[in-house]
Chain A
Amino acid sequence: KNEVEQSPQNLTAQEGEFITINCSYSVGISALHWLQQHPGGGIVSLFMLSSGKKKHGRLIATINIQEKHSSLHITASHPRDSAVYICAVRTSGGGADGLTFGKGTHLIIQP
């Protein structure tokens, strides 16, 4: 079983809709990351969370440590938001290795 599960795998919505992407994890973590990957392949870090909620523009990320769950919301979605959104966790325990990634949610916003 993958340690990081995302849902949905694919999401197509109309411009202006409110979008929610979910991430569940099964391990103890020190931080959770939301990343955005555009069709060219480059990855941009959107948020890093260890508790609560963060907001940047139209993007909101929340995390519930007790439930081991995080959500990424996009308000007033736009076609330029079309991308793959990836959830990744840094496991707790002090390890110096990299992140553990979900498989990504492929989002398409239609005009």
Chain B
Amino acid sequence: DGGITQSPKYLFRKEGQNVTLSCEQNLNHDAMYWYRQDPGQGLRLIYYSQIVNDFQKGDIAEGYSVSREKKESFPLTVTSAQKNPTAFYLCASSIAAGRADTQYFGPGTRLTVL
């Protein structure tokens, strides 16, 4: 089946540790996105990538890093510099960036920093 997978579903980390969230898609989409969701707020864009080996900062990129070495994969690292990392993280992809295409979302990873 085609789709987007994120792992793990739940993740617990100690304060000060870096943690990497996985996002994989087999839809052959060029564009991939990372969003963060907090209670009572809309999703906010962290980073996006239009094509392999390219990525751009979104609205709240501070304390996060990404890589796009393969078309299928867009991992997000939450670094110790992120002041409030506990949140629900969603990965999405679309056929191409810069067009009004449907975005397909993964199931999300809930990160809790203790």
Please indicate whether A and B come from the same complex rather than being unrelated chains. yes
- Annotate A84-103 by CB proximity to B: 1 below 8 A, 0 otherwise: 00101010001111111111
Task: From B43, B104, B106, give the contact of A101 (CB < 8 A).
Answer: B43
User: CA A48 – CA B98 in complex, angstroms?
Assistant: 15
User: CA A73 – CA B90 in complex, angstroms?
Assistant: 26
User: CA A90 – CA B101 in complex, angstroms?
Assistant: 9
Q: How many A-B residue pairs have CB under 8 A?
A: 68
A103 to B: closest C-beta gap in Å: 5
Question: Is B17's beta carbon under 8 Å from chain A?
Answer: no
Q: Are B104 and A45 in contact (CB under 8 A)?
A: yes
Question: Is A13's beta carbon under 8 Å from chain B?
Answer: no
Q: Are B102 and A48 in contact (CB under 8 A)?
A: yes
* Chain B positions within 8 Å of A31 at CB level: 100
Q: Which residue of A lies closest to B57 (CB)?
A: A97
Q: Are A40 and B105 in contact (CB under 8 A)?
A: no
A94 to B: closest C-beta gap in Å: 6
Question: Is B74's beta carbon under 8 Å from chain A?
Answer: no
Question: Is B2's beta carbon under 8 Å from chain A?
Answer: no
Q: Which residue of B lies closest to A30 (CB)?
A: B100
Q: Are B100 and A97 in contact (CB under 8 A)?
A: no
Question: Is B31's beta carbon under 8 Å from chain A?
Answer: yes
Pairs across A and B, CB under 8 Å, 8 listed: A31-B100, A42-B105, A45-B102, A45-B104, A86-B42, A96-B97, A97-B56, A101-B43
- Other A-B contacts than A43-B105, A50-B100, 16 sampled, CB-CB below 8 A, are A4-B42, A41-B88, A41-B108, A42-B105, A42-B108, A43-B92, A48-B100, A88-B43, A96-B31, A96-B48, A97-B56, A98-B92, A99-B43, A99-B45, A99-B103, A102-B42
User: Measuring CB to CB, which residues of chain A are less than 8 angstroms from any residue of chain B?
Assistant: 2, 4, 30-31, 33, 35, 40-45, 48, 50, 86, 88, 90, 94-104
